[in-house]
Structure 1
């Protein structure tokens, strides 16, 4: 990690990540598609984005459930190439995502399998940040947050979901949510990377 925890949020390059996978077991399942977009100084940078389809030669039903045909999947990048390209794009960015732990563990399983290392980047969960801000009083006057899905956060911030359940679409929707969270965080004293990325403990 090259960003000190005292770095102001506006200076950090956040990379909002989403991936579609063949299942929920990071050690066994594989990445189908990757979508990512950078957020710097509260702005979504559409010209700083990444999208890839990964070749999956088996488990076709788990691939097609994401709207990817078997032919499209077979024409995708080999896993080592996709992982290398994503790492080059990611650089030292701070990974952001909704329930991002699953994505990070799935990517790390791939990096360990192909190259023998794990990503060293700091990651930040939008759900953890939302719950911190709720505890800080950012949503005073509203009902307690009960929907923990990305759709639930879109509803919380009056964001109309678009292109849901694709990696690139979900990464963009998460980036829109993250923009709102950054503004609220600034009002509630969470102005540094360390304060922003604190794990939430119920």
Structure 2
């Protein structure tokens, strides 16, 4: 499949970033984390579409407000998800078409480590969108704040008495005392998740994770025998 013209040049530059990307030995305070959130018309990557994307960079233990992304995509029809994110078809009349939004996303991401809450959904939606226009998919390493939270609690990284029953984004905000401002918008949820990541990185460092490989290994869900 030939890439869509809007993506072809950007994809070439994107692929080159991974010729020398972050290694497992990279110190955590040197890694650029791209905290990402997508609002979508539904949960099925094949039938549904991305409505908006928001991202913010985290590096050296700080949120970098100069390193942000906010994209609005053209919506072809309203769905029940409009009641959640509030983005209607008419509100996106002048928004980006999917290939142009993907090109902007790839330029922003580079080889940054993607972070998100329940990020597998976002990654599947983006990969499905890419597949509609180009013979490629995301190559970035990624980290899920929900999975990481469970493993950090197992290691008593927040203290022996710390407990959490609600692993939703709202639940983690309550655990860390973060005001859930601007919820259910892509930029707002990305910023909230970035605040959670900062606290998780500090706890991971205290528990002995100082390099990227340590953190990614900690955050991976356990694999069944034979896999």
TM-score by length of 2: 0.85
SS at match of 2:85: coil
Q: Which moved more, 1:189-198 or 1:92-101?
A: 189-198
Provide the C-alpha distance between the structure 1 equivalents of 2:131 and 2:22, rounded to a whole number of angstroms: 24
| Structure 1 consecutive aligned stretches of length 4 or more whose deviation exceeds 4 Å | none
Provide the C-alpha distance between the structure 2 equivalents of 1:62 and 1:130, rounded to a whole number of angstroms: 27
| Structure 1 vs Structure 2 CA RMSD | 1.4
SS at match of 1:114: coil
Unpaired runs of 5+ in structure 2?
A: 1-17
Which protein shows a greater Rg?
A: 2
Aligned to 1:116: 135
Aligned to 1:138: 157
* 1:1-202 equivalent positions in 2, closer than 5 A: 1=18, 2-63=21-82, 65-198=84-217, 199-201=220-222
Provide the C-alpha distance between the structure 2 equivalents of 1:150 and 1:81, rounded to a whole number of angstroms: 29
Q: Which moved more, 1:53-62 or 1:126-135?
A: 53-62
Count of matched residue pairs:
202
Provide the C-alpha distance between the structure 2 equivalents of 1:154 and 1:53, rounded to a whole number of angstroms: 25
TM-score by length of 1: 0.95
Contact 1:125–1:197 (CA<8 Å) still a contact in 2?
Answer: no
Provide the C-alpha distance between the structure 2 equivalents of 1:76 and 1:117, rounded to a whole number of angstroms: 24
Q: How has the CA–CA distance of structure 1 residues 175 and 9 changed in structure 2, closer, same or farther, with 3 Å as cutoff?
A: same
Provide the C-alpha distance between the structure 2 equivalents of 1:138 and 1:179, rounded to a whole number of angstroms: 14
